[in-house]
Amino acid sequence: MVEVSLPDGAKIEFDQSVSLFSIAETISKGLAKKVIAGKINGGELVDLSTVISQNCSVELVTDQDPEGLEVIRHSTAHLLAYAAKSLFPNIQVTIGPVIENGFYYDFSFNRPFVPEDLRAIEKKMRELSKKNERVFREEWSREDAINFFKSIGEIYKAKIISDIPVDQTITLYREGDFVDLCRGPHVPSTGKLKAFKLTKIAGAYWKGDSKNEMLQRIYGTAWPTKDQLEEYLARVREAEKRDHRKLGKSLDLFHFQDQAPGMVFWHPDGSVIWYEVENYLRKIYRESGFSEVRCPLMLDKSLWEKSGHWEHYNDYMFTTSSENREYAVKPMNCPGHVQIFNSDLRSYKELPLRYGEFGSCHRNEPSGALHGLFRLRNFTQDDGHIFCTEDQIQSEVYNFSRKLKSVYSDFGFENIIYKLSTRPKDRVGDDSVWDKSEKALSDALDEVGATWEVLPGEGAFYGPKIEYSLKDSLGRVWQCGTIQIDFNMPKQLGAEYVTEDNNRETPVMLHRAIVGSLERFIGILIENFGGAFPLWLSPTQVGIATITKSQDQYAKKILDHIKEAGFRVKEDLRNEKISYKIREFSLLKVPYLLIIGKEEVESNSVSVRARGNMDLGKMSIGEFLGKLHKDLETKV
């Protein structure tokens, strides 16, 4: 007799050993169609073929559960390898993990894949899915598994097995004629995999090491249903339209070139956005009691050694030398801020002391990791550091979190995700200090009314942190803001203050940033708004187009009024058709367009069109300026 306990408290008895799939069938046929894998006694996921022979608790995972979706995607990666091996017998399969929204598989092949190969492989995957072949889990000895893969020319698989710890079971999965190394679990049959799409081909080094062979990586996505797949592909198509690199070019905002890899050339209109964001954040500095500072771009090696960066971050630092001294271009701003703190004898009465800097940082990122404005070698942070006592941590974190929420709202982001990362296994400082710090962070989040989750062990070795992520108009999540407690760097760099009883103590250092990298944040803004920025961020806020040349003088008068009011305006007085002028301004996504013809001149008015070809009718210039000021106030 085997008794199975279910999550809802129900219990089912079986006369003999039973598989997880049979348990699902016993509960309902509907569940049996949806179930993908299961858990026994709260352990790791296992295949549905797993047999239970003693009393236990069972949780059945369906294709709608997040863990079930991961099983579907991992199984689809193996289906991809199966199809590729069927079409190209000489190909070698390596690894195929699950990633966000999909999966990939790396292959070693004697020629580059082409788009036609992708279509052929996907077609073959669909054929294999329709065959609904059973997927079998098998346990092999290490030696037999290595010899098997060597015998069929799968050298990479043999290497992977050789690196697996000797105490770990070697498991292979068989579907039809295809056998692959995998820990599992997998779907019970290929027929469970129906909603998938191969998306792109890329290069990838074996084990991510540029010294190894370049492999070919095929990416794909998989979902429980075809409707979910189509919804995702529609989001991808929309994201491609909003790609900040494409919009940066079409809107003439910035460009990149080989002579400065991972660094941005900002054009006039892009610079407008940059300075609007920077000046807005500068206002936030002032409102939050920060003093703006500016530190050298390059510092002596000895300082980076004291801070610990030279030992732990040297590979990502640009270095140079002069007069027998070694220097590093700063990858972050914090050591410089400590030097400002150390430049004078500080008293407890001065704390908290807040420094902010729009600090230009350089990091020697691998060229393959660079990605538009999102991953650069040179970027600027809205970097702030607060020197305070332990008792001041909570209030500082509360004030920061409250201000951050209003800043994100001004940029159009209302949905904020809060995550608290707690102490890792390897850390500095006493547990009592960590207890106090983690409580200060959690209490501050509660005080600001945030719903938050804990990431156990994800804190830095020097202190816990909060990460603030925002969700854009396409539902994508971007981690931007952070506040981190640091017990280590102030001590390493000799920061001290005089206490009330005339002793010396090391201050706590809080690292904070609201948007992080300004470049990356502007890239997020471009994609969130699809280039159609709210009025306050738009490079050109108003366009003026005349119907005939006879309105030029009046148009220039209107232009001067708008400029004097402090708005960014461009006119088009060319001898072109009005429809052509309207289209030109529309492509630039200008928020407002003023059409001026004979009637407007005679009535001393302007015809106003809002972005999206919305006709707002005729207005006096005073009425129109009032509307602009209202838009600025509300940040629309």
Query: Whole-angstrom Cα distance, residue 453 to residue 467?
Result: 10
DSSP state of 260: S
Q: Please report the DSSP string for 303-314 in residue order.
A: HHHHHTHHHHSG
Q: Are 538 and 591 in contact (CB under 8 A)?
A: yes
Would you list the DSSP string of 110-150?
SS---HHHHHHHHHHHHHHHHHT-BEEEEEE-HHHHHHHHH
Is residue 169 packed enough to be buried (19+ CB in 10 Å), middle (13-18) or exposed (0-12)? Answer: exposed
DSSP-assigned states of every residue in 55-86: -EEEEEEETTSHHHHHHHHHHHHHHHHHHHHH
Which residues form the catalytic set?
A: 334, 363, 381, 383, 385, 465, 511
- Among 559, 556, 560, 550, which residue's Cα sits nearest to residue 602? 550
CA–CA distance, 479 with 469 (Å, rounded to integer): 4
Dig out the tokens for 247 from the structure: 């919009």
Name the DSSP letter for residue 536.
G
Q: Is the peptide bond before 112 cis (omega within 30 degrees of 0)?
A: no
| DSSP states of 445-484 | HHHTT--EEEETT-SBTTB-EEEEEEE-TTS-EEEEEEEE
What b/e readout covers 304-343, taking b as 16+ CB neighbours within 10 angstroms?
A: beebbbbeebeeebeeeeeeeeebbbbbbbbbbbbbbbee
Token pair recorded at residue 162: 């050789």
Residue 331 and residue 303: Cα distance in Å, rounded? 13
Alpha carbon dihedral 202, 204, 210, 214, in 10-degree steps, equals -90
Pair 267, 397: CB distance under 8 Å: no
Say which DSSP state 426 is in. S
Q: Residue 183: name the closest of 228, 148, 147, 137 by CA.
A: 137
User: Strand, helix or coil at 214?
Assistant: strand
Please say whether the beta carbons of 493 and 335 come within 8 A: yes
Q: CB pairs under 8 A, 24+ apart, for 599-603?
A: 600/551, 600/554, 601/550, 601/551, 601/554
User: Three-class SS of residue 219?
Assistant: strand
In the chain, the N- to C-terminal Cα span, in Å, equals: 67
**Tokens read off for 622:** 């005073």
Distance in angstroms (rounded) separating the CA atoms of residues 17 and 40 = 14
Beta strand residue intervals within 206-284, DSSP E: 214-223, 254-255, 265-266
